[in-house]
Structure 1
């Protein structure tokens, strides 16, 4: 099963002219998912909605506070991103969902007219544990900004996301940090299922948008399967897999994907939340995951770490201070191709903002190139060979001396 890639000028997005990125014409009025090709468990598909199409496997740059840090929106788009992520909890606190709504919604506010996914605030239930109180009704947070108390119920989480106007919304869930006891993991999983039902009712019928349920269950296979099956029975438009990459070894995460993905419907998108490293992405795609988000490429860029096809490069290391080579002479990204490592080292050591900008640009470019490579390999029926080639490149450790 292969995708037709022929396009004409008339059905291309003018913002992506010359990038070879077709946009369906006319734009769909409803949210949908189409599986275009499969190689083993790896899937190539499209998530379609009125604001555009997300080519899967997809990596979503994280724009926590309505901005992908150190990047212009147009840059993010030009790298190949079809969708970005916003954070309900942080936008609720500042500048406020009501204010964003009054200013025309999150897309207009952030000057991003393409799909936006918002998370529900559930991760902050875990990460801000000292500042919250849990109950069946929801979560009371004490703002980390000014100490003001806020209450977020499942209904309020969806209400906020609707005020923001996001295209894909997440149910409110309780994310358990691992390791945890089986009883605690099951309690949180069951609560998350009850909250999913409430979120579904609050979300209602919105043909052009989607609400995803979130599979929980920690590192307990039977709980993962039960959570996935219960959410599947709710017949949602998509399914997220949460509560992973929260302290457990990578193999535990992959084991949980192997028991979770087969339970989920094949005709709905699967989104692994908060993941991860390039190796996490390629291993998760091989187990049937379609969508990802993570702060790693942007956060690493702000701290002097570059991701390349030859592995990671730490620009804080003094061995780069006389190195005239670029990060990757084969990259299409100017940040990777047109600046020497010596210059990047200088910027990082001098705490110049341009260093963070260039390395973030490089990292997001590499992540999008990684996803495009996987999409192409799945269509060609050579995903496993491609996976080996990518890992051999990382193991090589560096480009040849120029």
Structure 2
């Protein structure tokens, strides 16, 4: 289970050096963020995210309440994770962490704030991109990085041009290249991705940032360029399958699994195809919080509530816990109604039997819906 520990931040609602369940921390962070925005004030807080089954923290960072950077911790972490470089082994942990965060966070806290309306007010509607928000966000982030880098290069070398003429000429050439990159990202925002794709494809994989890797991987997934995807993830086909599953791209995952079958890919597809018995029989699958919830759901669909409750101990889904509790209540209610009906006389208790049978039908209908 994920927890958040705040170690800085002066606010009466903000507990420090205390483990808070992740979902509660996200809700609290949004409450304080909105409060500080109204007050037009800022509070800087340092925090880290931990998993009670892991020895090290999963994420450490600084959240400035009232800064409009993000409405809550979940959005803040989700936006910043792609900028952190990591190796292949840690990339698996990163994907698992993202999946666990998604499962632990209520939908109301996953919505990005729309702060782009003013930027697009005068833009020709025929030229507005139809890209998803995450695509615009990642492209803007990368474009902003290059813009800042270019500005810094120019400012530094113009101030010292007299003493570093040779270095200036070299860096000016690099700045011109960065200017081209910014243009590629601007074109991609309008749906013209060819130049950006060519630029990313020509770079050495080892030099791509995590944000660039994510953008390029989504492009390659859309085009089913599976060999390139394997290269991006250093030949780890299980990691590619997890990436495609996390993107909710079932058709592409199916096509990928046909060429590069993995246990993880087959597990995800078994769930998508509602082959629950096959899913539960699978072995040697890397189980994270999300896949544990999928196993729990499979047990429920097969009517094995005991197995579902046992599997529930491996994940943090309160929705599944509530569902299991309700199913057990309905099963008990139906069994009790059956016993009452069996003890009544068909002729003497006809009205009462009809009432009990109606109650049973309602309970069974709800049971089937669940």
The answer, yes or no, to whether TM exceeds 0.5 is no
More strand by share: 1
Q: With CA pairs under 8 Å and 6+ residues apart, which has the higher RCO, 1 or 2?
A: 1
Q: Which has the larger radius of gyration?
A: 2
TM-score (ref. length: structure 1): 0.29
TM-score (ref. length: structure 2): 0.31
